[in-house]
């Protein structure tokens, strides 16, 4: 053991290109730019100016950071799912140009926040900024408003709609401006409510069209009587 340590020290002091330490099946191999644990040679094909730490194993590799009773480790294994394993009592974040607001943070309840501290517990993702996406799919559990076209649906009269607007300042079942300003709105639910109003509006237009047709027939009948 002492001889192996002396050989390692000698090679480093002499600025040789590599040093190797072996104890049983444990192996540490270093070059001027790389450190490999678990193999007798560098495993990857790296550039001359790259600095690399390799951990090599036939079944699983782990890098463990332990502070007191908490332990966080990176796992790449054929036996267990690969990933970061974090202590359940600690958050984990990535910080860029700031030590107070994480760019990305994982909460102890499994929620994720981006560009902000923890969001409300009932939301799995909280973003402190704008989101852009090519497509967004919302799948509601609530019933889509085709019930408006069912025979049992009671369509409010236009007089009732007018009264609602005068008294409340917004359409029935829709959030008020104050509610939206204070609490925001849920995209899926608001889309559902807007669809309800669109389908109600469609029924109003159909009824008005029927009334226009009836009046047109009456006008044609009156004109026929006058002409005769």
Between 120 and 181, the higher pLDDT residue: 181
What is the residue range of 116's domain? 91-132
- Predicted pLDDT of residue 17: 54
Share of the chain above pLDDT 70, in %: 91
Q: What are phi and psi of 200, to 5 degrees?
A: -65, -45
Same domain, 143 and 207: yes
- Predicted pLDDT of residue 209: 95
Rounded to a whole number of angstroms, the CA Rg of the chain reads 35
Last residue of a domain, one of 106, 132, 158: 132
Report the first-to-last Cα separation within the chain, whole angstroms. 125
Supply the pTM of this predicted model: 0.57
The rounded distance, in Å, linking the Cα atoms of 84 and 79 is 15
Task: Find the helix or strand (DSSP H, E) in which 217 lies.
Answer: helix 187-227
Which whole number is the average pLDDT over 202-208? 96
Same domain, 139 and 226: yes
- Predicted pLDDT of residue 12: 43
Same domain, 106 and 80: no
Which whole number is the average pLDDT over 94-108? 81
Same domain, 110 and 152: no
Most confident of the following: 77-91, 94-108, 127-141: 127-141
Same domain, 18 and 39: yes
| Of the candidate ranges 24-28, 73-77, 190-194, the one whose mean pLDDT is the lowest | 24-28
């Amino acid at each position: 053991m002492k001889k192996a340590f002396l050989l390692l020290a000698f090679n480093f002091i002499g600025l040789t290109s590599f040093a190797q330490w072996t104890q049983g099946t444990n192996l540490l191999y270093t070059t001027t730019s790389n450190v490999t644990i678990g193999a007798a040679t560098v495993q990857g094909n790296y550039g001359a100016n790259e600095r690399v730490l390799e951990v090599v194993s036939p079944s699983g590799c782990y890098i463990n950071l332990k502070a007191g009773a908490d332990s966080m480790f990176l796992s790449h294994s054929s036996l267990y799912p690969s990933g970061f394993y974090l202590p359940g009592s600690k958050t984990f974040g990535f910080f860029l140009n700031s030590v107070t607001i994480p760019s990305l943070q994982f909460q102890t309840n499994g929620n994720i926040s981006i560009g902000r501290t923890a969001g409300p517990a009932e939301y799995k993702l909280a973003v402190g900024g704008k989101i852009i996406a090519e497509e967004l799919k919302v799948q509601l559990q609530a019933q889509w408003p085709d019930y408006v076209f069912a025979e049992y649906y009671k369509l409010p009269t236009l007089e009732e709609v007018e009264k609602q607007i005068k008294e409340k300042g917004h359409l029935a079942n829709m959030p008020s401006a104050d509610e939206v300003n204070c609490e925001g709105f849920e995209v899926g639910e608001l889309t559902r409510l807007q669809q309800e109003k669109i389908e109600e509006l469609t029924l109003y237009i159909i009824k008005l069209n029927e009334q226009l047709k009836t009046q047109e027939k009456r006008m044609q009948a009156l004109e026929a009587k006058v002409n005769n």
